[in-house]
Amino acid sequence: MPLSRLSSPFLSGTSRVTLHMLQLLLALVPAVIALVYFFGPSVLITMTLAVVVALLAEALMLKLRGRPLKPFLTDGSAIVTAVLLAIALPPLAPWWLTVVGILFAIIFAKHLYGGLGYNPFNPAMVAYVLLLISFPLEMTTWLPVASLSEHPLDFAGAFHVIFNGQLVSGLSFDTVSGATPLDAMKTQIGLLQHPSYIAQQPLFGLFAGKGWEWINIWLALGGAFLIARRVISWHIPVAMLLGLTTISLITWLIAPETTGSPLFHLLSGGTMLGAFFIATDPVTAATTIKGRIVFGAGVGLLTYIIRVWGGYPDGVAFAVLLMNMLVPLIDYYTQPKVYGG
């Protein structure tokens, strides 16, 4: 093979950005299947819509910025952003919510900062937070798991909900929607219910929310696959989960009436998605080994603090964005010791 480089090394490993992204998507497959199983097929529709809009927005921005289309459209990063946001959105999210979120993620959070590799904040989480703040009602209207629902959504029903904003049966959303387990836990602790009592309600399963716990377990297994394939390193997920476990365990031991169990927090909401797929986004995370541990632990702590003492039921997105801000500082103070230095 003729040499293409001007200087050594002339060899190159098999690692490719696109390959990383593809493996990431592959690792999400079991969790998406679980999502469909528990909350109906609407996530697939939202995901398809998100991917299409993301690729269009990416192409538009590349065109405007005078960048080549092919290498950047095929790098897979826009698709990953779209899929991650789609997984985080509620199953009844109307089409425009997805579109607004994706456009903001790709145009503002990614390309206005310089595109792939240059964005300081995770685009999917920026979009998620924007939507959460701007459209709190739509963003918190979740479905209970299919087995609990009297009106489980089929494919046509989901399509109707997303694009027409109403149920096929003509019933209002209130009859089908419900709080997420995290939300329920937070509200009812606010009403001075004991967490162990709350956890006995039908909304909850073995360890955490019914359905949610399995989705989180599948996400964690997908994450383990990524670590085994060396797409991500173990430092951030392990640090984040340990951070979350430590603070929730301490609070749970001291004041069990104020918080769910550590296991509940580990398997609820966006914990595993955040730990393995969001906080590990290389572009926006810390890069040194020690830095990654600090970064991950910070995300874990902040997630818990926001969930339990903050105003929102889940805190992963905010925690990631807050820690994103600290990355330059963390990286600066965690430089490794150089050979012979």
Partner 1 sequence: MTTPLGSFPGGLVLDGQKKRSTYDAIRKTPLSKKLILPLQQHIGEASEPIVQVGDKVLKGQKIARADGHVSVYLHAPSSGTVTAIDEQPIPHPSGLSAPCITIETDGEDRWVDLEETPDFTTLSEHEIRHRIREAGIVGLGGAGFPSFIKLNPGVHHTVETLIINGVECEPYITCDDMIMRERAEGILDGIEIMRYALRVNKCIIAIEDNKPEAISAMELALARRTELHDTNIVAIPTRYPTGSEKQLIQVVTGKQVPSNGLPIDIGIVCHNVGTSYAIGRAITHGEPLISRIVTVTGIDVTHAGNFETLFGTPMHELLSFCETRREANEPFILGGPMMGYNLSGDHLPVTKTANCILVGVDNAAPKTDPLPCIRCGECATACPVSLLPQQLYWYSRSKELEKTREYNLFDCIECGCCSYVCPSKIPLVHYFRFAKTETMNQELETQKADNARIRHENRLERHEAEKKEKEERQRQRKLALAATKAAKEKEAAEKAKTADPQPDSQEQ
Residues that bind partner 1 (CB under 8 A): 1-17, 19-20, 68, 71-72, 75, 77, 115-118, 233, 282-285, 287-289, 292, 331, 335-341
- What 8-state DSSP symbol labels residue 203? T
Omega before 144 cis (within 30°)?
no
Give SS3 for 56.
Answer: helix
- Distance between CA 269 and CA 209 in Å, rounded? 9
Nearer to partner 1, 5 or 150 (CB): 5
- What 8-state DSSP symbol labels residue 93? -
Q: How far is the CB of 6 from partner 1 (least distance, A)?
A: 7
Give SS3 for 10.
Answer: coil
Query: Tokens 């405007």 belong to which residue?
Result: 64
Nearer to partner 1, 201 or 335 (CB): 335
Q: How far is the CB of 170 from partner 1 (least distance, A)?
A: 48
Q: How far is the CB of 1 from partner 1 (least distance, A)?
A: 4
Q: Which residues sit opposite 209 in a β-bridge?
A: 204
Cα 188 versus chain centre, distance = 25
Query: Tokens 């939300």 belong to which residue?
Result: 183
Nearer to partner 1, 11 or 253 (CB): 11
Nearer to partner 1, 90 or 291 (CB): 291
Q: How far is the CB of 340 from partner 1 (least distance, A)?
A: 4
Nearer to partner 1, 15 or 200 (CB): 15
- Distance between CA 5 and CA 131 in Å, rounded? 46
